[in-house]
Amino acid sequence: MKVTWDESTCIHAGKCVQGSPDVFKVEDGQFKINLDAGEESQIRTTVASCPSGALQIHEDES
């Protein structure tokens, strides 16, 4: 699983940071995603709660 963020779509509602603060962070003014810091189910729930759709899940292709 890969998660991407589209800065131009983001409305900065903060649902990602609130929902999975260890995974989605703003550090030094930069948005960071660390998938290793959270459980997949929680990350999926957080991405689904993104009101703008700026966060997207891309499944790994085998």
28: left (phi over 0), alpha (psi -120 to 50) or beta: left
What integer pLDDT is reported at residue 62 of this predicted model?
A: 56
Residue owning tokens 């940071």:
17
Confidence of residue 60 (pLDDT cuts 50, 70, 90): confident
Structure tokens at 40: 């997949």
Domains of the chain with CATH codes: 2-58 (3.30.70.20)
DSSP 33: E
CB-neighbour burial class of residue 25 (10 A; exposed 0-12, middle 13-18, buried 19+):
middle
* Residue range 20-54, pLDDT digits in tens: 999 999 999 999 999 999 999 999 999 999 999 99
